[in-house]
Amino acid sequence: MSCCVTCWQVCLFRQHKYVSLASKISIIPGHVMVFKRSIPAFSIYFRGELLYRKAPYPPTESQYGLIALVSVLSLQMTGSNEYKLNQGPEDSISAVKFSPSTGQFLLVSSWDCTVRLYDVAGNSMRIKYSHLAPVLDCAFYDPTHAWSGGLDTQLKTHDLNTDQDTIVGTHDAPIRCVEYCPEVNVMVTGSWDRSVRLWDPRTPCNAGTFTQPEKVYTLSVAGDRLIVGTAGRRVLVWDLRNMGYVQQRRESSLKYQTRAIRAFPNKQGYVLSSIEGRVAVEYLDPSQEMQKKKYAFKCHRLKENGIEQVYPVNAISFHGVHNTFATGGSDGFVNIWDPFNKKRLCQFHRYPTSIASLAFSNDGSTLAIASSYMQEQGDISHPEDTIFIRQVTDAETKPK
Amino acid sequence: MGRKKKKQMKPWCWYCNRDFDDEKILIQHQKAKHFKCHICHKKLYTGPGLAIHCMQVHKETIDGVPNAIPGRVDIELEIYGMEGIPEKDMQERRRTLEQKQESQKKKQNQDDSDEDDDDDDAPGPSFVQQQMPAAQPQASYVPPMAQPGIPPGARAPGMPPGAYSGMPPMMPGHGVPPMMHGMPPGMHGMPPGASGAVPHSVPSTSSDPPKATFPAYTQSSASSSSNPPSNTVAKPPATVTSKPATLTTMSATSKLIHPDEDISLEERRAQLPRYQRNVPRQGQVHMSAPPVAAVGGMMPPQQGMPPQQPGMRHPMHGQYGGPPQGMPGYMQGGMPPYGQGPPMGYQGGPPMGMRPPVMSPAGRY
């Protein structure tokens, strides 16, 4: 949508790394960067897409201006497929979720204690409400009700039409996940108090508390089943219609802490990611034959000077139609994978900092990418937290 | 597999002996790995093409094809995909493949199921011995080693013919790219454990391990072994104890970009003093020096301290008298504002004494 021309920054271009000569300021996408390679070509990149290239000799100084102008104009005319949301949260983003009925509205929860609703098409913030402490997750019950919970342990629901809050209940410790199960019509929350609680969204009130072996780190709904990922790499599968017992107890097939779990839209299985740059695809059917099909692969790793940097994979989101999924890691990359053919379909350009959350819209045409530093390396200065909205194409998300 | 008349059935790269599903992929691989200019990263089409490019554009000579195995670095040979491979090498490859297939078949005939890659029948070792002279370690290889850890490790040391021919059933070569990025670096990164095992296993990767690589890879990671934390026995699972344990370190060539404690990133972040004050003015991300050092210093004391949650309960006892040194409890509103500025010196000491009592689970809202 809007792009601006920065001053002529002369940088050494290294493939896929946009590093300025002088320091490690990461270059925020959205600006036209004029790169001058050591030799032998001169190219202009905009958010990782090459706009203009001249080789082997760079243009003269006087030509720079014209070239940049032309590039910017051509971009504005064709429109970019990605833009930043305005009035973003003031601190890291913990979760982004699209409305179940339309890709127009996006709910965003943040460490600045607010939950915001954005009109993505118009790129504006519609509603904002607050908690007493950072909010760790949010979810839509229906297009007009948002639910959220966080460090203040309160589960709140907000009516988006009347802009009214209600406190539904609490946990004994911060709430880490909030999800909705449409098949059973129940809201599910998971918390660091080692419990999962169900809530009836209509009344609204508590519909049960179920102890887990460890702190809940992530959960996902598959049909009428609930998959819970806890500390200690445990994975539990519950039947939401019969919470008297755990349907399946498993151990994560990855050796490191579980970061995220997302169920396949076809409910056959789930994808699990860890902090160690690895993703596993597992199936729910406990039969030997299905269990043989499970696999894992490494991803979100960068090789630098002989040292491999391994990043946590923080976010997973499924494309509702194609059953392919996107993963976002702390390396700032988003990859799209085809789990059935076991291939990577696409990798986007690198975002300014870690990807904290991803969400596909219900029709799969839009991907919301929350780029927020997650303190992997302590409290250091980092690029600002932004949400990118990207229109994705079939070429990027459809199995080949 | 299919028609025997194809030149070797599966396209393979002459420079590094790797197998591929498709010639197109093979060519992409060659362009990216062997025909890429190290100065400007331009992908050329052939070895001689690369040499000429470097000479003309950068005025530099190159003496060999990058990333090629020794013996295959000849820059003068014009090889594109499968074309141009000298007949001698073709035959050698065919022979190696046949040998491998035979040994694989024979092995298979002996097990009842193809799922178990852990077989160690007597006929196996001696049998294989006939064909692959160096296969003795077969026996040693089979029982102990974290096998699935091995094939990846073994692949690098140039024994891919075996590893790769088995691969395709599992993972189409395309699927491998995600692996592959991981793999080659994984190679080097492949922990000392695996590398220790590699010498044993290298010759014996001929048989089923490659075929079972993928499931075995995950099964093994599900069951016991290698991969990154091979040098330690106590795996992260052992951390289901009161203390947030530290992560087992990875090998020297891999670095995990994650704080050391095995708690989630959100938990760790919630322990930061600015979030414990419960005031929604968290805009200041750049707290600068004191917090950085403080947080670093704070972490260790905190680990020892909270039995269960690193500070996620609300103690509710206004014990704070003191400065907000990470009063780990979360205060729900109504807490007396500290009136102390952010850069509080973090003495891990005094609060230590304070905290444990505070951590009573009875804290309710």
At A347-379, the pLDDT tens digits run: 998 999 999 999 999 999 999 999 999 989 888
Q: Is B236 within 8 Å of A233 when comparing Cβ atoms? A: yes
User: Tens digits of per-residue pLDDT, B143-152?
Assistant: 444 444 444 4
Give me the pLDDT at residue A237, please: 95
* Distance in angstroms (rounded) separating the CA atoms of residues B316 and B282: 22
On whether any CB of chain B is under 8 Å from the CB of A346, the answer is no
3-state helix, strand, coil in chain A (%, to 5): 5, 50, 40
- What is the ipTM metric for this complex? 0.78
Q: Is A307 within 8 Å of B269 when comparing Cβ atoms? A: no
Mean pLDDT over residues A326-338, rounded?
A: 95
Q: Is residue A274 pLDDT above 70, yes or no?
A: yes
Higher pLDDT, A394 or A9: A394
Q: With bands split at pLDDT 50, 70 and 90, how would you rate the model's confidence at B76?
A: confident
For residue B272, the chain A residue with the least C-alpha distance is A379
Q: Is residue B3 pLDDT above 80, yes or no?
A: no
For residue B188, which residues of chain A lie inside 8 Å, CB to CB? Answer: 306, 308
Give me the pLDDT at residue B178, please: 44
Facing residue for B264 by CB, picked from A217, A382, A384: A217
Interface test with A, best of B21, B282, B298, B365 (most A CBs within 10 A): B282
For residue A296, the chain B residue with the least C-alpha distance is B218
Mean pLDDT score of chain B: 58
Interface test with A, best of B171, B180, B256 (most A CBs within 10 A): B256
User: Tens digits of per-residue pLDDT, A144-160?
Assistant: 999 999 999 999 999 99
Q: Is A214 within 8 Å of B240 when comparing Cβ atoms? A: yes
* Distance in angstroms (rounded) separating the CA atoms of residues B318 and B334: 10
Give me the pLDDT at residue A44, please: 56
Q: Is B280 within 8 Å of A299 when comparing Cβ atoms? A: no
Mean pLDDT over residues B246-268, rounded?
A: 82
Instruction: Give all strands of the β-sheet with A242-251 in edge-to-edge order.
Output: A216-222, A225-230, A234-239, A242-251
> Could you tell me the pTM of the whole model?
0.54
User: Tens digits of per-residue pLDDT, B334-344?
Assistant: 444 444 444 44
Would you give the end-to-end CA distance of chain B in angstroms?
A: 67
Q: Is A232 within 8 Å of B57 when comparing Cβ atoms? A: no
The residue to which tokens 């013919």 are assigned: B161
Q: Could you tell me where the DSSP H helices lie in chain A?
A: 61-78, 288-291, 394-397
Q: Is residue A92 pLDDT above 90, yes or no?
A: yes
Backbone angles phi and psi of A85, in degrees to 5: -80, 140
Helix B123-131 vs helix B87-110: angle between axes, to the nearest 10 degrees?
170
Q: With bands split at pLDDT 50, 70 and 90, how would you rate the model's confidence at B113?
A: very low
Q: Is B282 within 8 Å of A214 when comparing Cβ atoms? A: no
On whether any CB of chain A is under 8 Å from the CB of B185, the answer is yes
Sorted by sequence, the CB contacts under 8 Å of residue B173 that are 6+ apart come out as: B19, B20, B21, B22, B25, B167
Q: Which helix (H) or strand (E) holds B202?
A: helix B192-204
Q: Is A257 within 8 Å of B228 when comparing Cβ atoms? A: no
Q: Is A153 within 8 Å of B314 when comparing Cβ atoms? A: yes
Interface test with A, best of B188, B221, B235, B266 (most A CBs within 10 A): B266
- Nearest Cα neighbor of A280 from B214, B258, B185, B247 is B214
The mean-pLDDT minimum among A66-80, A91-105, A215-229 falls in A66-80
**Please, are residues A177 and A144 in contact by the beta-carbon 8 Å criterion?**
no
For residue A287, which residues of chain B lie inside 8 Å, CB to CB? Answer: none
On whether any CB of chain A is under 8 Å from the CB of B168, the answer is no
For residue A270, which residues of chain B lie inside 8 Å, CB to CB? Answer: none
On whether any CB of chain A is under 8 Å from the CB of B59, the answer is no
pLDDT over 90 percentage in chain B: 3
Facing residue for B177 by CB, picked from A39, A344, A374: A344
For residue A343, which residues of chain B lie inside 8 Å, CB to CB? Answer: 172, 174-175, 177-178
Give me the pLDDT at residue A25, please: 25
Give me the pLDDT at residue B72, please: 86
* Distance in angstroms (rounded) separating the CA atoms of residues A288 and B267: 36
Give me the pLDDT at residue A378, please: 85
The mean-pLDDT minimum among A132-141, A258-267, A316-325, B87-96 falls in B87-96
Q: Is B256 within 8 Å of A276 when comparing Cβ atoms? A: yes
Give the three-class secondary structure for A155. strand
Q: With bands split at pLDDT 50, 70 and 90, how would you rate the model's confidence at B234?
A: very low
Give me the pLDDT at residue B124, please: 39
On whether any CB of chain B is under 8 Å from the CB of A276, the answer is yes
CA distance A338 to chain B (A): 9
Q: Is residue A297 pLDDT above 50, yes or no?
A: yes
Q: Is B330 within 8 Å of A152 when comparing Cβ atoms? A: yes
Interface test with A, best of B257, B292, B364 (most A CBs within 10 A): B257
Higher pLDDT, A171 or B323: A171
For residue A215, the chain B residue with the least C-alpha distance is B309
Q: Is A255 within 8 Å of B227 when comparing Cβ atoms? A: yes
For residue A129, the chain B residue with the least C-alpha distance is B280
Q: Is A192 within 8 Å of B228 when comparing Cβ atoms? A: no
